[in-house]
C-alpha cells in the first residue's frame, strides 16, 4: 500500500475496534467476525451482532479493496467528478456501520468514512475522502437530535467552522427518499469527494468525526433502550425500517458501488435490518408522535441554529 492507503486503513481498523468494544459491552454479546477476500483484490473485516440483548442487528465493517473499476462504477463517478484521470485502477478503504436496536424508542444509527484513490498505488492520480454519520429514529426525541448534532458540530468545528452547516445540509439532501419526498432520518453530517486540503488533514478530520460517534450515540441509546413500548409502536418501527431498506437499495451510492465491485455481499447488505414492514398507503393519525416525526422527515430541522436556508 502507498502511505496514504495504509494510514487511512489503519485509522478505520482502530475505530472499528473502539466502537465494537463499547457496543459489545453494552449489548452483553460479542461481535461475530468474518475476514473476507475480494476476488479482484483486497478484502475486509466484518463484525456483526444479531439477535443481541440491545441490538436486533448491528454491524461494523472495514474494507480495503483494489483492482479495476467496472465501466458503470466509473461512469457514476464521472457524473460527479468530470476531471477524473484516465485510469481504471482504484483503491478504496473505509469503515461502515449500521445499528438497529430492538426497542422502537432507540434510534437506528449509521456511520461511514472512506478514502478513495485512482492510480496504480505508486502515486495517486486522484484521491478524495467522504463519509458521515446520521440518526434514524422511529420516535423523535428532540433532546436526542440536538445532542447527536452537537457532538458532530463540535468535531467539525475543530477543523473548519463552515464544515458543520455545509455537511449537515448535505446530509439532509443526500439521505432523501426522492420517490417519497421524505428523508431517511433526522440527519447528521455527510460529505463526499473532498480533496481541497492535504490528505492527512482530512484524515484527521475523519478521525475526529469517527471518535465523536460514541459520545453522540451511546447516551441516546442508554436513555432509550429499556423504555416501554406497545405493539403499535413496534409496527411503526417496522414501517420506518422499510423506508431504510428502500433508501439503501435504491439510492445509496455505497451499496451500489459495493455490489458492482464484487465486495462480499453479506457485508454490503449488512446495513439491512432483520425485520421490516410495508403497508399500502399507511398514514399516521394527525398530531400523533408518528405524524410529528414524518413532518420533520419532510421538512428538515436545523437542530443547531444555522443561517437561514436559501431557496
pLDDT tens across 13-50, in order? 999 999 999 999 999 999 999 999 988 899 999 999 99
Residue with cell 449488512: 270
CA distance 30 to 17: 12
Give φ, ψ of 132 to 5 degrees: 150, -175
**The pLDDT of residue 82:** 65
Please check the confidence at residue 309 and state whether its pLDDT lies above 70: no
pLDDT tens-place string over residues 214-252 = 999 999 999 999 999 999 999 999 999 999 999 999 988
Which residues are annotated as catalytic?
Answer: 110
- Per DSSP, the residues of 179-195 read TTTEESSSEEEEEEEE-
Sequence-distant (≥ 6) Cβ neighbours of residue 98 within 8 angstroms: 57, 58, 59, 108, 109, 110, 270, 271
Residue 277: all three cell numbers together:
414492514
Which segments within the chain are labelled E, that is strand?
Answer: 32-37, 42-50, 55-68, 89-101, 108-118, 126-136, 176-177, 182-183, 187-194
Which segments within 83-217 are labelled E, that is strand?
Answer: 89-101, 108-118, 126-136, 176-177, 182-183, 187-194
pLDDT tens-place string over residues 181-204 = 999 999 999 999 999 999 999 999
pLDDT tens-place string over residues 283-293 = 999 999 999 99
pLDDT-derived band of residue 311, with 50, 70 and 90 as boundaries?
very low
**Summary count for the chain: helices (H), strands (E):** 9, 9
Please check the confidence at residue 310 and state whether its pLDDT lies above 70: no
Beta bridge partners of 129: 115, 194
DSSP state of 197: S
- 154 neighbors 168 (Cβ within 8 angstroms): no
**The pLDDT of residue 269:** 80
**The pLDDT of residue 125:** 87
**The pLDDT of residue 266:** 79
**The pLDDT of residue 2:** 58
pLDDT-derived band of residue 1, with 50, 70 and 90 as boundaries?
very low
**To which H or E segment does residue 174 belong?**
helix 163-174
pLDDT-derived band of residue 263, with 50, 70 and 90 as boundaries?
low
Q: Kind of pairing, strands 182-183 and 126-136?
A: unpaired
pLDDT-derived band of residue 268, with 50, 70 and 90 as boundaries?
confident
Q: Kind of pairing, strands 187-194 and 108-118?
A: unpaired
**The pLDDT of residue 94:** 96
HSE at residue 90, side-chain half, CA atoms within 13 A, is 21
Closest CA to 291 of 227, 229, 236, 245: 236
- Domain boundaries in the chain? 3-298
**The pLDDT of residue 308:** 57
CA distance 83 to 62: 28
Superfamily of domain 3-298: Coproporphyrinogen III oxidase, aerobic (3.40.1500.10)
**11 or 253: whose pLDDT is higher?**
11
DSSP state of 306: -
Please check the confidence at residue 79 and state whether its pLDDT lies above 60: no
Q: Kind of pairing, strands 126-136 and 89-101?
A: unpaired
Arithmetic mean of pLDDT over the chain: 92
**The pLDDT of residue 146:** 98
**The pLDDT of residue 264:** 74
pLDDT tens-place string over residues 80-118 = 766 778 788 899 999 999 999 999 999 999 999 999 999
Residue 148: all three cell numbers together:
447527536
> Is the CA virtual torsion 169, 174, 179, 183 positive or negative?
negative
Residue 288: all three cell numbers together:
400523533
**The pLDDT of residue 261:** 67
Least confident of 74-78, 143-147, 192-196, 287-291: 74-78
CA distance 223 to 38: 40
Amino acid at each position: 500500500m502507498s502511505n496514504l492507503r495504509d494510514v487511512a486503513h489503519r485509522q478505520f481498523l482502530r475505530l472499528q475496534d473502539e466502537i465494537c468494544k463499547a457496543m459489545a459491552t453494552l449489548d452483553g454479546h460479542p461481535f461475530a467476525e468474518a475476514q473476507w477476500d475480494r476476488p479482484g483484490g483486497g478484502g475486509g473485516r466484518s463484525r456483526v451482532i444479531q439477535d443481541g440483548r440491545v441490538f436486533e442487528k448491528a454491524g461494523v465493517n472495514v474494507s480495503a479493496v483494489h483492482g479495476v473499476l467496472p465501466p458503470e462504477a466509473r461512469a457514476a463517478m464521472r457524473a460527479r467528478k468530470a476531471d477524473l484521470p484516465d485510469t481504471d485502477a482504484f483503491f478504496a478503504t473505509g469503515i461502515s456501520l449500521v445499528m438497529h436496536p430492538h426497542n422502537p424508542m432507540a434510534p437506528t444509527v449509521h456511520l461511514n468514512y472512506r478514502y478513495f484513490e485512482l492510480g496504480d498505488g505508486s502515486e495517486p492520480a486522484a484521491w478524495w475522502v467522504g463519509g458521515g454519520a446520521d440518526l434514524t429514529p422511529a420516535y423523535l426525541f428532540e433532546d436526542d437530535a440536538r445532542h447527536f448534532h452537537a457532538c458532530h458540530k463540535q468535531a467539525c468545528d475543530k477543523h473548519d467552522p463552515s464544515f458543520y452547516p455545509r455537511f449537515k445540509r448535505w446530509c439532509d439532501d443526500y439521505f432523501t427518499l426522492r420517490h417519497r419526498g421524505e428523508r431517511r432520518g433526522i440527519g447528521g453530517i455527510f460529505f463526499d469527494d473532498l480533496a481541497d486540503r492535504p490528505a492527512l488533514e482530512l484524515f484527521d478530520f475523519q478521525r475526529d468525526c469517527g471518535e465523536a460517534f460514541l459520545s453522540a450515540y451511546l447516551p441516546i441509546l442508554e436513555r432509550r433502550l429499556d423504555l416501554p413500548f406497545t405493539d403499535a409502536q413496534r409496527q411503526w418501527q417496522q414501517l420506518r425500517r422499510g423506508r431504510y431498506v428502500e433508501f439503501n437499495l435504491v439510492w445509496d451510492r455505497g451499496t451500489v458501488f459495493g455490489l458492482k465491485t464484487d465486495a462480499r455481499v453479506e457485508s454490503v447488505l449488512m446495513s439491512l435490518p432483520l425485520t421490516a414492514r410495508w403497508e399500502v398507503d399507511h398514514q399516521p393519525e394527525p398530531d400523533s408522535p408518528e405524524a410529528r416525526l414524518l413532518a420533520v422527515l419532510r421538512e428538515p430541522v436545523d437542530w443547531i441554529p444555522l443561517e437561514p436556508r436559501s431557496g
